[in-house]
Structure 1
Amino acid sequence: MAEVDKACCSLPAVTTHDYKLNGTYNKLAGLDVYTTGPPHSTRALIAVYDVFGFAPQTLQGADLLSHSLDALVLMPDFFEGKPLPLSLYPPDTDEKKKTAGKFMQGTASIDANVGKLGEVVKEAKVKYETVKGWGCYGLCWGGKMAVLRSGAGTEFKAAGTAHPGRLAKEDAENLTIPFICLFSKEDGTPELMKEYWEVLEKSKENVVEKYGSMHHGWMGARANLEDKENLKEFERGYTHLASFFAKHL
């Protein structure tokens, strides 16, 4: 595993309830975009949420990274205000499975949204001219988006994911920039995780680590910040991302 940059910026304290946002909402490529951090920063991140959309924990993560990196962070609302309801998790009934499947094939179509991500980046690069280093990170569904935009011709200098979804060995093989991957204990099958890990660790620029006590979603909408262990690993995960992007952007 490649080492992260030792000079990591400090993370502010995480709020466990009634979180008050630091950012505002703007428009890019026809989408509402949560925008946090200095608009004239020299580095920026595109944050891609999980299927549950603008959850307080996910937005707080964007604020944490912005503060730590003194960076602009943009989180587009690809689902246009209609994410998958958290109440559908776990999909343990036929009706829940049907609803989730329809959402993943329609609103959350990877092919359609990867194109939208490209449009957001294109407009953002025009609007925020001072940015010299663009990066991207995604959670679960968003991690798939991030890795697919990190191959040949990418707009980004570095990218990454936490508790990645839809793992595919070829995605890791196609990377052309430094990439950080923070696994939970349950991201896909053990075989897929092993394949993905082994490809990533071939480059010393990549960072890959398993948060073995954490459930899938511990840094996104399914984070339980009232739980001491989840809170600790939530903070460690975002510190991990901040250190990586501080080094590469």
Structure 2
Amino acid sequence: MASDTTQCCPPQTKPSKPNVPHPPAESTGYELKGRYEAVGSYDKVYTVGPEGAKHALVVVYDIFGFWETTLRGQDILATNLGTTKIYVPDVFRGHPFPKDRDGDKDELKKFFGGTAKLDDRLPEVVEFAKGLKNEFETVSLMGYCWGGKLALMALASDKVFCCGAVVHPAMIAGEDGDDLSVPLGFYPSMDEPKDVVRRIHEAMQGKPFREKCGYHLYDTVHHGWAAARADLKDPENKKQYEDVYRRLGEYFACAKSK
């Protein structure tokens, strides 16, 4: 069954409030290690990682855009990888989904039909990555939530990326794993549909590059635990937040190698 791309974050399996996603994180005053700069066609790109790196990782954020907990994760990942430069382009061009409209299905539908229209944003991200290939030996891709769906589409339709990963992806469908052309790191939460997760995982295992793929089901944390919806005051969320960035570092270190 195809996914409904007019919807996004699934409600919590174990909700604090019925039928709504976990709320976005509040700022903690964390000081970012990277910087914003203009790169390619984007006026604002968060970058972190060493100069002279041979591998670039393009990261597509969730519907809330440049969120503190999302970018903090990139700082951790850059440290874990060491030899990778991370790029988080502002694919929404300064217009992320407003926090105060979270859960409003009508507003989400408008957002996915315009600013976050996958068919429009996907080619822009691919072109951005092509530009990076002029500077780096390899380029990979990672996405969260809405960005996870975009990443799955890119990894099935284009050979720009050497590998990719998705963390608590939204709007996933069983066939999302069928046409993968490169290794995938797949890290769903307890809230993604279990039958769809199972089917994508099975498709990964049938690929010739299956040994380079990564998979872990985070069945103790909610959708969004590694990005804008992270609750780092919660001990289990913090534990699994740190764990997924460790796993991502290990996965990309292996999968990006030729």
Shared fold, TM over 0.5: yes
In structure 2, distance between residues paired with 1:198 and 1:222? 28
Match of 1:53 in 2: 65
Offset of residue 152 of structure 1: 5.1
Q: Is the 8 A contact 2:189 2:219 kept in 1?
A: yes
**What is the 5 A alignment of 1:173-192?**
173-187=178-192, 189-192=193-196
Gaps of 5+ in 1: 1-15
**What is the 5 A alignment of 1:92-131?**
96-126=104-134, 129=135, 131=136
In structure 1, distance between residues paired with 2:215 and 2:167? 10
Q: Is the 8 A contact 1:201 1:208 kept in 2?
A: no
Q: Is it true that 1:84 corresponds to 2:97 in the alignment?
A: yes
Q: TM-score, normalised by structure 1?
A: 0.86
Q: Deviations over 1:205-243 (max 9, x none)?
A: 322221111100000100011111100000001111110
Q: TM-score, normalised by structure 2?
A: 0.83
SS at match of 2:228: coil
In structure 1, distance between residues paired with 2:205 and 2:232? 30
Match of 1:164 in 2: 169
Q: Deviations over 1:36-65 (max 9, x none)?
A: 111310111001101110000000111111
Gaps of 5+ in 2: 1-26
Offset of residue 155 of structure 1: 1.2
**What is the 5 A alignment of 1:181-220?**
181-187=186-192, 189-202=193-206, 203-220=210-227
In structure 1, distance between residues paired with 2:181 and 2:74? 24
In structure 1, distance between residues paired with 2:160 and 2:141? 9
In structure 1, distance between residues paired with 2:238 and 2:163? 26
Q: Is the 8 A contact 1:169 1:199 kept in 2?
A: no
Q: Is the 8 A contact 2:212 2:255 kept in 1?
A: no
